[in-house]
A and B are shown apart, each in its own frame.
Chain A
Amino acid sequence: MSGTYLLQNLIDGISLGSIYALVAIGFSMTYSILRLINFAHGDILMIGAYSGLFIMVAWQLPLWASLLGAMIFAAFVGMLVERIAYRPLRGSNEEATLITSLAVSIFIENLGIMVLSPQPRGFAIPKFLTKLHTINEITISNMTILIISLAIILMLVLTYFVICTRMGVAMRACSENINAARLMGVNINKVVACAFAVGSGMAAVAGIMLAGQYGRIEPLMGFVPGLKAFIAAVIGGIGSIPGAALGGYVLGLSEILLVALLPAAYSGYRDAFVFIILILVLLFKPAGLLGTLEGRKV
């Protein structure tokens, strides 16, 4: 195996990892505040991809505008889902919210099939993104460069938001002790809505990037990336935002590298590798790579 082959796969792994990271962050944000595993998060990714497509095709707007529009629309849908499905369950047990999120996921997927038709649609990206660069036999497309850099930019913005802004500090306070945060005058509903908006916006970007890479979208496209991003969040330590980003890259890289390095006969087991990695990480670090185990109050 040559060095270029390895490097090529590294780049592909980082690209896939960027997408997982963007989605995993949303999982971790809502989990950290509400202890809610939002299985509908992957379907928000789908909504983001479709709204991006419609903005591009129907309004003939450029890619950046469709990205922005899709982020805003997905953020709105995320807040709506929280308002309708999760807020009434605030204070109930984790099992109830988990089942509800599965129900929301199935609802959105079937609504998508009814309204958008189950047929996949083509998702054409602007010409300049399909351009390939070849350096020392390594091929990298503008699309890949866009995915990697967009993920980094969004994560930097998010880091600034969480560390430096008033809402970001409130979010961190809530994730640690939601009742103490209320006593400080923090409006929990606003913080939760904000977490859903931010997470959904990032998922929308991931959706458009996935759609751009595969060139097509369909109503069930969010399921597998949603599941993998959830696994990435658990690998990184669910509830930790840096952990989610790290878990996304670890998962993306190992998925691509394992397929590339193992004999071709094993490549069909790609998704099984994901779970093997998850099991291995949890065996040695039950709280995930960057997570902390919280004592449960009994």
Chain B
Amino acid sequence: MLELNDINVYYGKIHAVKNISLKIKKGELVALLGANGAGKTTTLRTISGMLRAKSGSIIFDGQDINKIEAHKIVAMGLAHCPEGRQVFSRLSVLENLKIGAFLRKDHKKIEKDLELVYSLFPVLAERKNQSAGTLSGGEQQMLAIGRSLMSNPSLLLFDEPSLGLAPIIIEKIFEVIKELKNEGKTILLVEQNAYNALAIADRGYVLETGNIKLSGEAGDLLANDEVKKAYLGG
């Protein structure tokens, strides 16, 4: 479904992502792990067209999307739920969700997806007319996830959905991500919370200073001594 072949990304002179290749099959949940500054967010931003890879190819559904504009990539069925939530705080909860469906014209199906998001996160239904800036951090993360579902994507990129949240909310967020996978969505999950991510993932990649250091089945990575030492606290 998604294939990165030897991509290189630069911020000015800084070589942030070096020759990364990774593959996600349809229906898979893949975790992308690594410390701060390892290149995880850069990789996601390159996939969704916010940044351009200087070399290499990004194949999504059989098409190279490296030169395609971000909004067209969304139209192809790829949704990117960005780091730090980035909800539109002056827009209402409902407006935030509706702008997630910006490119869609199938109004009946949009209403149905809206109900689906509300059933995943009932609190959003209660607060639909409130401006998003008044929500708590956890509720904003729920809104960000809900918003990314509104484009009815086949592939979802999640960037640190657990960042800065209380443990009980983190649990809920991971539960929902697992549920989305069970419903057949393909997911690339970027996390610093390696243990939780690997617990629900099929496979994982570990990034270190722009390189892929390790990759494998989630269970193997969980048992790997190096991963344990670096990311799982011994």
Chain A residues packing against B (C-beta within 8 Å): 166, 169-170, 172-173, 176-177, 179-188
Contact = CB atoms under 8 A, between A and B. Distances in A.
A183 B50 contact: yes
Interface stretch (B25-33, B83-91, B113-121, B217-225): B83-91
Interface string B53-93: 00000000000000001110011000110100011111100
Interface stretch (B95-103, B172-180, B189-197): B95-103
14 contacts: A172-B90, A172-B91, A173-B91, A177-B86, A180-B82, A182-B70, A183-B82, A184-B99, A184-B102, A184-B147, A185-B75, A185-B102, A186-B71, A187-B71
Interface of B: 48-50, 69-71, 74-75, 79-80, 82, 86-91, 95, 98-100, 102-103, 147-148, 151
Contacts of B147: 184
Contacts of A182: 49-50, 70-71
Nearest to A174: B88
A169 B99 contact: yes
Contact of B50 (A170, A179, A185, A186): A179
Nearest to A190: B71
Contacts of B87: 180
Contacts of A166: 102
A253 B79 CA distance: 49
A170 B70 contact: no
A188 B49 CA distance: 13
Contacts of A188: 71
A61 to B, nearest CB: 38
Contacts of B95: 169
Contact of B88 (A180, A185, A187): A180
A172 B74 contact: no
B107 to A, nearest CB: 12
B102 A176 contact: no
A176 B99 CA distance: 13
B71 A177 contact: no
A143 to B, nearest CB: 37
